[in-house]
Amino acid sequence: MLAGTLTAEMKCQTTAVELQFSPINSNILFSGHWDRVVRVWNINEKTNVELQGQNSCVFGLCVSDDGALLCSTCYDGVICVFDVAHDNVMLWRKETRHRTYCNPVFHNGAFIVASFGNDTVGYDAMTGNELFKLSKHQKPLRMMIVNVRKTGESSH
């Protein structure tokens, strides 16, 4: 349940496919759109900044736990990471071979991205270097949930 009511009217000429609030500032909303643009909205000021770099529809967004980094994934497999804490600069961009339909997940300094090509890849959030790859899922992933246990913690 929402704690308050969003009353700001913010207009955009294209359909938003994905929305994510900043984990540290509830007045900042990130939106991914059909027009290949990610928008960073300031709800209080009713303004937005456009982040460019995607080649196709933005299907997934993920914000790092500290709200500093934003990862976007696109239909054509392009992954972009922006430093939204410092002037929205693009840190890195990768063109993968596979489309992505699943929201990326941020965990332990990495953005984890699942693709329609049945691979899940972890990328270092700051550099874009590949950290690991899980291949050959039975079916494409549409959703990921990361469950983290402390060392020595039982799963029962």
Domains in the chain, CATH or no CATH each: 16-134 (2.130.10.10)
Residue 4 pLDDT exceeds 60: no
Query: CA geometry: angle at 125 spanning 112 and 64, to 5°?
Result: 80
Q: Which of 12-16, 22-26, 34-38, 138-142 has the lowest mean pLDDT?
A: 138-142
Tokens representing 103? 């929201």
The closest alpha carbon to 26, from 47, 51, 48, 6, belongs to 6
The closest alpha carbon to 104, from 48, 23, 20, belongs to 20
Whole-prediction pTM: 0.78
Q: Give the largest Cα separation in the chain, rounded.
A: 51
Q: What is the DSSP string of 99-141?
A: ---S--EEETTEEEEE-TTS-EEEEETTT--EEEEE---SS--
First-to-last C-alpha distance (Å) of the chain? 30
Task: Name the residue with higher pLDDT: 110 or 145.
Answer: 110
Q: What is the pLDDT of residues 87-113, one digit of tens each?
A: 888 988 888 776 776 678 888 888 877
Task: Name the residue with higher pLDDT: 4 or 71.
Answer: 71
**Residues linked to residue 19 through DSSP beta bridges, in sequence order:** 31
Residue 9 pLDDT exceeds 90: no
Contact criterion met (CB below 8 Å) for 55 and 76: yes
Q: What is the pLDDT of residues 26-85, one digit of tens each?
A: 999 999 988 889 999 999 998 999 998 888 888 889 999 999 999 998 888 888 999 999
Residue 147 pLDDT exceeds 60: no
Residue 21 pLDDT exceeds 90: yes
Tokens representing 118? 């049945």
pLDDT at position 137 is 61
pLDDT at position 63 is 92
Amino acid at 27: N
Total number of residues shown for the chain: 156
Q: Is 5 exposed, middle or buried (0-12, 13-18, 19+ CB in 10 A)?
A: exposed
Task: Name the residue with higher pLDDT: 144 or 78.
Answer: 78
Q: What is the pLDDT of residues 112-126, one digit of tens each?
A: 776 656 778 888 889
